[in-house]
Each structure stands twice: as structure tokens, then as C-alpha cells.
Amino acid sequence: MFGVYVHVPFCAARCDYCDFATWTDRAHLIDEYVDACVADLERRTRDGQRAATSVFFGGGTPSLLPADDLCRILDMIPRAEGAEVTVECNPDSVDRAKLDRYARAGVTRLSFGVQSMIPHVLRALNRTHDRDNVVRAVDGARDVGITDVNVDVIYGTPGESDDDWRHTLDGVLALDTPHVSAYALTVEPATPLGVRVAAGTARPPDDDVQADRYRIADDTLRAAGLEWYELSNWARPGHECRHNLLTWQQGDYAAIGCAAHGHEAARRWWNVRTPERYVERIRAGRSPEQGSETLDDRARAEERLTLALRTRAGAIVSDEAAPALDTLESAGLVGRATGRVVLTPAGRMLANEVTARLLAAGGATVASPRSAPAGTRYH
């Protein structure tokens, strides 16, 4: 598998919790930025970039681009037959004409940033859409033949109750999409939400509340036929995000656009952060890379365990970690199946702790078994 990630850094409004590389005052750069992405892809194609099995437009708000501009970028990406092409969308920034243009260009999957179905929770997050916009967007996708749809939601927003969260999940299930991503709200220091929490005018998320909300999500989504396949992702069989699977399996992917990250073998790299610098680099015929790192065998093995343990397929753990593994299993945090270690529902809520203990015990296997079953990612 080989993926292409395209970062679109433009937003109409910035959500109070967001610390991604996005800007609300750079719309005047859209034409130049699209040209730069196209030129970057042209160079990579000349240099022999292989056909993509998955493409992911993330951001930011990719759907904020004029449809023809996004499709111009997509048209420059060599794709394998049956490639998955995902576009992240804000429900406010799509209509049927835009969605139809996506479908005709080869977009196969949409991911809508919904976050909540409750008005006061949306206001707390500074989201601009409402429930009706979400319904229109999902119905519009189906109308143009894009049935592989994901809905992103967030739990733990200040002022959200358990009932609010249940109503959000019920609203999401009423949409009947085959994929749902549910993320715990994270407070980043430099965001407006982070500033309010630091000042004491907003409460930080409570870990126990977050755990309860995760359990509610898992129970509700599984009861509706969506199975978890990664810590924050549930899908009906066959509707798992292939681009995300690629990243969880340490696959290779190219980075297009500012702040985008790429990976090849053990080398990771990241592009310059701002759209202005990305455009300047591409115009000058220079690489947009800002930095890179190459992981040694040990670091790569530890990353492999960390990523695989997040997934339903689980991870292969070395014999050296057997005592730690026995302790975790006795505590009900992990189980074992077909030679792999898999997090239990309780273990998923303590995934970082479980991973840290296994790594500390030397659980990462440096030699990657060629016959190991495939694991099961964003944004």
C-alpha cells in the first residue's frame, strides 16, 4: 500500500480546541497554494512516485477549497485501481454541486467533522454548523453516490452531560453512516480553550468522565453493528479507513502541502509549517521539507508495538515482557489471541499506560515477522 496525504490549511473559523496548522486569514493564498501542490505532485510523479492506494485530504477544511481546485490536486495524483480517496469536510462548506464534483473526480469517502449534535456543546467548541446541516451533508453525499461516510464526534466538552453525549451518539446513528470516529477532547495550552482552562473560567476534562463517555460510545456503537478497529474508530466490516490502516501499519505515504508529514521505510519527514513558506519553496524549485528523522531498528520496533496495540488486530510482544504481560492480563487490561496481544475494553481506556509498561519490559520485537497478520490510523 502507498498513500498520499494532502494538507489543506484553510478554515473559515478556528475551533476553540484546535492547535493544528490551520489559518482563518489566508484565503487570499488559496490559488497559489493549489498551484504549489500541483507543482509538487508533478515533480514527484516525474521522480517516479508510485500509484497511491489511498489519498487523504486533511486540514484545516479541505472542503473550503473550490471543488475544481481540490479536484485539480486530486487529478495530479497517480492512483491504483480502486484507490480510496477521502476528503475531510465541514458540513457548512459543502453542497450537492460540490459533492457531485467530488464524486465525478474519484472521491470515494467523506469524513464530516460533526463533533456534537447538541447546540450548547457546539457553541462551547465554536463550531458553526447545526444538526440540520449535518443531515443535509450526509444525505447529499448519498445522493451523489458516495456512501462511504465517516462522522467525527468529540466527547468531554465543558458543559456536556452524559445525556448530551448519548443524544449525540443517537443522532449520529440516525445518519446510518458506516464509520464513526469518537475522540476525547484534549486541551492544548495555546488554544482559546486552553487559555480558558488555565484561567479557571473553563473546567478541564475529567479523566473518569472521559472514560465513562468512551464506554458509552463503545457500547452504543457496537450495539448498532459498528465494531471498534482502532482506539477511536468504529466501522461496519469493510468500511475501515484504508488510509488510516496504512499509517497504523507503518506503511509509506507522501506529504503534500504545508505541515504535512510523510514516511518511507524508516524515514519520516515533515514540510514547512506555513502556506507562504510552502509556496515559496515550491516556486523556487526547492524541497518543502523542513526536517526529517530516521528510526533505528529498536525505535521502529517500539513504534510498531505502540501503533499495533491501538488496533483490533493487536501487537506481537516479545517473550522478554512475559511477566509484565501476565500482570496486565490478570488486571483485565489485555487478552491474547492467535499469538497477539489485544487490549480489552478496559485496557483501551488505559492504552498509554499499558503500552508504556510493555515497552519498559522490553516487549517490542525488533525483527518484524513477515507473516504477521495485518493490523487494523486522521485525523
Whether the CB-CB separation of 257 and 37 falls below 8 Å is answered with yes
Identify the helix (H) or strand (E) that includes residue 224: none
225: nearest Cα among 179, 164, 271: 179
pLDDT value at residue 367: 60
Would you place residue 372 in the very low, low, confident or very high pLDDT band (cuts 50, 70, 90)? very low
pLDDT in tens, 8-31: 999 999 898 998 999 999 999 999
Q: How far apart are CA 294 and CA 266, in angstroms?
A: 5
**How high does pLDDT run on average in the chain?**
94
Q: Which residues on adjacent β-strands are paired with residue 78?
A: none
- Look at the alpha carbons of 263, 264, 266, 268 in this order and tell me if their dihedral is positive or negative: negative
Residue 298 has what pLDDT? 96
Cα 276 from Cα 268, distance rounded (Å): 22
**Cell matching residue 113:** 467533522
Task: List the domain boundaries for the chain.
Answer: 2-246, 297-360
pTM equals 0.94
- Pull the grid cell for residue 178: 458506516
Let me know if 138 is exposed, middle or buried by CB neighbors in 10 A (0-12, 13-18, 19+): buried
Range name among 120-124, 127-131, 172-176, 257-261 with the lowest pLDDT average = 127-131
From residue 329, how far is each of 303, 315, 317, 343 by CA, in Å? 22, 14, 13, 9
| pLDDT over 90 percentage in the chain | 90
Asked whether residue 374 carries a pLDDT value surpassing 90, the answer given is no
Give CA–CA dist 153/166, Å, rounded.
12
Q: What is the CATH number of domain 2-246?
A: 3.20.20.70
